[in-house]
Amino acid sequence: MAPVAARSAGAVGVGVAIFISVALTTYLICDRRSKKKNIPRKNGLVEAIGNTPLIRINSLSAATGCQILGKCEFLNPGGSVKDRVALQIIQEALESGQLRPGGIVTEGSAGSTAISIATVAPAYGCKTHVVIPDDAAIEKSQILEALGATVERVRPVSITHKDHFVNIARRRASEANEFAQKQRNSQLNGKEDTAKINGDESDGHNYSSLFPSDCQGGYFADQFENLANFRAHYNGTGPEIWEQTNGKLDAFVAAAGTGGTVAGVSTFLQEKNPDIKCFLVDPPGSGLFNKVTRGVMYTKEEAEGRRLKNPFDTITEGIGINRITKNFAMAKLHGAFRGTDREAVEMARFLLKNDGLFLGSSSAMNCVGAVRVAQAIGPGHTIVTILCDSGMRHLSKFCNAEYLSELGLTPKADGLEFLGIE
Ligand SMILES: Cc1ncc(COP(=O)(O)O)c(C=O)c1O
């Protein structure tokens, strides 16, 4: 039989072991719970915009020897990076009093920005009126109408024409303001002249069919020239990238449509650390590559004002432009790369196969840009780009096998050989 002292020492040992294991289990359970508790609750849709994950794109990182990171903007509630822009534009317009609750936000866009405005506007009690060219894919108006926006499809003309869809959108905002003012006056005067007001016409349009009778005026979002777009990225996307990388990044690259993303992010990152290199990747037909690398945008014949329709010879959507917008003018760029449609298509297929990432055309082009940057600056660097929207938005074109085959763009690469990586 063991002596009493030894027996009690053994009991103490067992007791300590039990205590430690109970404490450890409790710690682990509490730690898990507290980690769960750390996921903050959001107040409404608006707070769910931004703070998107930054993911390591494993296939591209392994292939280039760089850490290639993608900001998952497709996870925003409205499905794209443009949610940030719509939110900033609407908030600033309400704060300045240029937009009233119940007012109509107008935009000339067939793309993600209109969808984001239509997503965000109801959260502020506002409405959306979108003017788009009548050759835009029909599903674009269907999505917008399903979101509650009114949609006007118009004949495509040059941007210099007063009836270009962007110019009509600008005009509709002024007309909504006049309409609302007349409604207010008639209520003040107690006159029953609503029918007269509704009979007012603009471009053959009856106001009453465009604006609701309780319309509180209009505001033209103007994503190309409105610097709220820049601020959305300078105050949001840029700082998030900085925090998510702990300030340890070497380069940023993205394509430009309005230029808001490259401008806001590049300006913020440069202010934090001037050694961070920022680049543009530009699709076919866009003049920005020339502008960044040579200082000239286009020949006289290519000037956007001289063209009738979409001047871009690319299937990528939302990127490429042939004029300098106020937003793009703010960009701090060190260089530019050209990307082709084939590279974007092959990249989209490669990322789907290797990483399970189902991305839209501009995201694919941005990833082409990330590889080009990796090749230019060499292995061992951290490069960030933007995953703007998902392939779901591109089912009828960029992500449609039949469409790609008609253009001779069926993807055929096994790996990244289309970018010179064997
Ligand atoms: C899907 C998509 N990706 C990228 C861009 C380009 O972003 P930015 O306008 O900030 O240059 C746009 C712009 O409309 C877009 O719609």
Can you give the pLDDT at residue 36? Answer: 59
Helix axes 82-96, 112-120, angle to 10 degrees: 50
CATH code at position 317: 3.40.50.1100
Cβ–ligand 1 distance for 50 under 6 Å, the answer: no
- 399 in the same domain as 269: yes
User: Measured between alpha carbons, how far is 249 from 69 in angstroms, rounded to an integer?
Assistant: 10
Cβ–ligand 1 distance for 260 under 6 Å, the answer: yes
Please give the model's pTM, rounded to 2 decimal places.
0.87
- 344 in the same domain as 296: yes
Report the nearest-CA residue for atom 6 of ligand 1. 257
On whether residue 32 sits in a domain, the answer given is no
> Ligand 1 centroid to 256 CA: how many Å?
6
- By most ligand atoms within 8 Å of CB, the mutation choice from 261, 324, 385 for ligand 1 is 261
β-partners of residue 359 are: 390
> Ligand 1 centroid to 106 CA: how many Å?
18
- 305 in the same domain as 259: yes
**Which domain, by its residues, includes 158?**
82-220
- Burial track 182-215 (b if 16+ CB lie within 10 A, e otherwise): bbeeeeeeeeeeeeebbeeeeeeeebbebbeeeb
**Closest ligand 1 atom, residue 260 Cα:** 10
> Ligand 1 centroid to 85 CA: how many Å?
10
- 322 in the same domain as 200: no
Cβ–ligand 1 distance for 113 under 6 Å, the answer: yes
Cβ–ligand 1 distance for 311 under 6 Å, the answer: no
- 65 in the same domain as 126: no
**Closest ligand 1 atom, residue 111 Cα:** 16
Can you give the pLDDT at residue 130? Answer: 96
Which mean pLDDT values do the consecutive 10-residue runs of the chain (422 residues) have?
48 59 56 65 94 98 98 97 98 97 92 95 96 82 93 88 94 94 82 50 60 91 97 98 98 98 98 98 95 82 48 81 94 98 98 98 98 98 98 91 96 98 94
> Ligand 1 centroid to 75 CA: how many Å?
15
Phi, psi for residue 104 in degrees, rounded to 5:
-110, 125
User: Measured between alpha carbons, how far is 117 from 165 in angstroms, rounded to an integer?
Assistant: 17
On whether residue 5 sits in a domain, the answer given is no
User: Measured between alpha carbons, how far is 172 from 161 in angstroms, rounded to an integer?
Assistant: 15
On whether residue 37 sits in a domain, the answer given is no
- 356 in the same domain as 306: yes
Cβ–ligand 1 distance for 226 under 6 Å, the answer: no
Cβ–ligand 1 distance for 325 under 6 Å, the answer: no
- Residue 78, CA distances (Å) to 31, 40, 75, 84, 147 in order: 33, 20, 8, 10, 10
